[in-house]
Amino acid sequence: MSAPLVSILIPAFNHERFVVRCLDSVLEDPWPAKELVVVDDGSTDGTAERIAAWVEAHRGALPIRFVRRGNRGVAATLNELATLARGEFLRLGASDDYLLPGGLAAQIAYLHMHPRKDAVVGDSIVVDTDDRRLHGSGMRGLHRANKRLYRSDEGIRRAVIGQWAVGGAVAMLRRRALERVGGWTEGLRIDDWDFFLRLAARDALGFIDVRVCAYRVHAGNVSRTRQVPTRLLHLAESRGVAQRHLALFEGADRTLLRAQVHYIGAKIAFLRRRPGAVAAHMAAYLALAAMARVGLPRPPPLVEHAS
């Protein structure tokens, strides 16, 4: 049986220092059937030029499609990448992160063993701008995530709703996932949580405890911004995403998502220095979270896998 084609999708924007390492990692993974699809989303530094030079130097190594255009945002770029891709499986990348060898095979093996799953995420290592390792697990080191939650469908729903702890380019999708839940919502900055909530609501998301990428921490990471107006914008988007997706969930899951709406509201109120609103949102959050815990299963015991 021949290996299925994996399309590695790289949305690139202003990562001239890191993008070559990202592209090299595609060649370093030994999966035999792969293509590389890259869209430069209007970079204003030398990112596009470095990609073009790399593509010219490696054109015979694997099929490559490279598009350079004006800025349209991450969600629009991901949708375009998926349209350009030819593979049965879509491996989501990032121009400042890089793949770890063996990750493609591990994720494809999981999806073959779980035909009802439309997507699978793994863990990452965390590196700095000079590739020095900061954490052996992005989920634990950066997010303090409880990996036990990711061992069951119920736990994955709870984890995605309550603590989205997946950082970096760690997801692989079947092409059919986009047909079933739709693509990325253009105009959103919080596009990943929006997308994976839709997958989790269908119990279509799986997890492997394997490090499949290196997540790079640097000054430009969107998720690490400390500018209050930008944080308020991201939080408002997150609250809107949660509110729009309430209807996708039932029972304790919906209650937990309602709790998250209030928790995000408390963060917004704190940044706006409104202590009364903070207290009201936190009271609602604690009450709803307690109600949700009553209806949620205990996570199964954690079993570590070698990676």
* Interval 133-165: pLDDT, tens: 999 999 998 888 888 889 999 999 999 998 777
Nearest 5°: phi and psi at 89?
Answer: -120, 140
For residue 219, give the 3-state DSSP assignment. coil
Task: Kindly list the domain boundaries of the chain, sorted by start residue.
Answer: 6-224, 228-294
Looking at residue 247, its pLDDT comes to 97
Q: Which conformational region is residue 273 in: left (phi greater than 0), alpha (psi within -120 to 50 degrees), or beta? A: left
Q: 225: pLDDT confidence band, cut at 50, 70 and 90?
A: low
When pLDDT is averaged across residues 108-132 and rounded to a whole number, the result is 96
CA distances from 285 to 156, 259, 298 (A): 20, 5, 20
Using one digit for the tens of pLDDT, what is the confidence trace for 244-259? 999 999 999 999 999 9
Please state the rounded mean pLDDT for residues 13-35.
97
Supply the pLDDT for residue 145.
86
- 3-state secondary structure (DSSP) of residue 34: strand
Query: Is residue 305 pLDDT above 70, yes or no?
Result: no
pLDDT of residue 227: 85
Global confidence as pTM: 0.90
pLDDT at 295: 56
Q: What are phi and psi of 8, to 5 degrees?
A: -95, 115
CA 161/CA 141 separation, integer angstroms: 20
Q: What are phi and psi of 265, to 5 degrees?
A: -60, -35
**Residue 52 pLDDT level (bands cut at 50, 70, 90):** very high
CATH number for region 6-224: 3.90.550.10
Mean pLDDT of 291-300: 61
Q: What pLDDT does residue 220 have? A: 75
Would you say residue 183 has pLDDT above 50?
yes
The three-point CA angle 273-277-280 to 5° equals 145
What pLDDT is recorded for position 298? 43
pLDDT at position 242 over 50: yes
